[in-house]
Amino acid sequence: MSIQSHIAELERRHAALERQIEEAAQHPSVDAIQLKELKRRKLHLKDEIVRLASAKPSVH
């Protein structure tokens, strides 16, 4: 898997987590710990995306 395709997959997963978080926030019965875990996973994905994007060699 190329770095670019790996980044695209991470971005897809990040967007899916964003939708999950938004949906969960709409329901008052959602466990705050679960919501915090979703946000932590989303942040971890974002950090990984940034790390890979900055490590990618630039093409001039």
User: In terms of residue numbers, what domain contains 22?
Assistant: 3-53
User: What is the value of pTM for the model shown?
Assistant: 0.82
With respect to residue 9, please indicate whether it lies within any of the assigned structural domains: yes
With respect to residue 45, please indicate whether it lies within any of the assigned structural domains: yes
Question: What is the model's pLDDT at position 58?
Answer: 57
Q: Helices (DSSP H) in 1-60: which residue ranges?
A: 3-25, 32-55
With respect to residue 60, please indicate whether it lies within any of the assigned structural domains: no
| Rounded (5°) CA angle 42-32-9 | 15
**Looking at the 3D structure of the chain, how many domains does it have?**
1
**What ranges make up the beta strands (E) of 1-60?**
none
According to DSSP, residue 31 is labeled -
pLDDT digits (tens, 9 = 90+) for 2-59: 999 999 999 999 999 999 999 988 988 888 899 999 999 999 999 999 999 998 665 5
Question: What is the model's pLDDT at position 56?
Answer: 66
